[in-house]
């Protein structure tokens, strides 16, 4: 089996989600402390997050496939259902990725204050519990909460600790805009899969709400991302740059309908990327008010 298929199975298009959170933390730290944007700590955490994201995606695919959530009729990553990779190979690759990423931050994990260790262990526990037994949080309508915590507070707190040596809790409000769009990626995916998820006996927020209310919630997440960014512009006026992504947002919102739901998660990820880049640029280049 081609190694390329294992790389595809990690869903590289999703790596921008943790990377943008780390870069935003770095931009905020730069604004307050004058550190370079791509400092060593930023690059270390970014690499760690990519490795853990890739490993988590592989685990998610393995358990979805094992529980029958992913099958030939399911739209999405097909590497396992099409036998392009094996379950054993996916698990091994996930272990290698997680180990390689963790190796970079061993000094921080062994630090006497254990601050980063606690963040790291919480992230690992949530990533594994997302689909793995006994908790299987994704299948019990808890996936949204896990994603919000992991890609918001945990990512930015961990990144701040590595970069500055201590948590910088003042950065957490800035996680809200990008985290809302991260939630929108998951919600779009779950709304698309309502029927398949119901067939498999699992629960998601989208399933509990139904299609119409799920669409309303998706719209609210996207709108909330822009409103929160504009609110934060009272501190960093450059946050207003996110308005340049409004045309893409409107196009993405129009795609949220059954005939065009197949790639809604990827379309939302594209919006997340552009929005986050603009937010990062705005914070980095504008002085604090």
Neighbours of 192 (CB within 10 A): 24
pLDDT in tens, 34-61: 888 889 999 999 999 999 999 999 999 9
Buried b (16+ CB within 10 A) or exposed e, 74-83: bebbbbbbee
pLDDT tens profile 179-232: 999 999 999 989 988 888 888 888 999 999 999 999 999 999 999 999 999 999
pLDDT at 73: 55
Residue 289's SS3 state is: coil
> What does the mean pLDDT of the chain come to?
90
Question: Domain limits at 78?
Answer: 3-285
**Number of domains forming the structure of the chain:** 1
CATH (domain of 109):
1.10.600
> d(Cα 206, Cα 50) in Å, to the nearest integer?
27
Neighbours of 224 (CB within 10 A): 17
* Alpha carbons 184 and 44: distance in angstroms, whole number: 27
pTM: 0.90
């Amino acid at each position: 089996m081609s190694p390329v298929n294992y790389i595809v199975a990690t869903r590289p298009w999703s790596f921008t989600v943790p990377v943008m959170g780390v870069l935003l933390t770095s931009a905020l730290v730069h604004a307050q402390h004058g550190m370079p944007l791509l400092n060593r700590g930023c690059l270390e955490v970014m690499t760690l997050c990519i490795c853990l994201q890739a490993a988590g995606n592989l685990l998610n695919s393995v358990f979805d496939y094992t529980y029958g959530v992913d099958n030939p009729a399911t739209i999405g990553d097909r590497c396992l259902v099409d036998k392009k990779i094996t379950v054993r190979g996916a698990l091994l690759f996930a272990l290698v990725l997680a180990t390689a990423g963790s190796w970079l931050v061993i000094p921080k994990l062994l630090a006497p204050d254990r601050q980063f260790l606690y963040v790291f262990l919480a992230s690992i526990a949530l990533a594994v519990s997302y689909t793995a037994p006994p908790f299987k949080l994704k299948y019990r309508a808890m996936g949204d909460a896990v994603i919000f915590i992991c890609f918001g507070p945990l990512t930015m707190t961990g990144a701040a600790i590595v970069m500055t040596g201590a948590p910088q809790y003042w950065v957490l409000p800035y996680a809200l805009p990008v985290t809302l769009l991260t939630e929108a990626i998951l919600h779009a995916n779950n709304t698309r899969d309502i029927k398949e998820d119901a067939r498999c006996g699992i629960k998601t927020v989208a399933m509990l709400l139904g299609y119409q209310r799920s669409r309303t919630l998706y719209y609210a997440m996207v709108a909330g991302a822009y409103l929160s960014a504009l609110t934060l512009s009272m501190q960093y006026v450059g946050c207003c740059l996110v308005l340049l992504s409004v045309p893409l947002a409107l196009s993405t919102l129009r795609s949220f309908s059954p005939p065009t739901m197949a790639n809604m998660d990827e379309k939302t990820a594209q919006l997340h990327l552009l929005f986050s880049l603009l937010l990062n640029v705005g914070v980095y280049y504008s002085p604090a008010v």
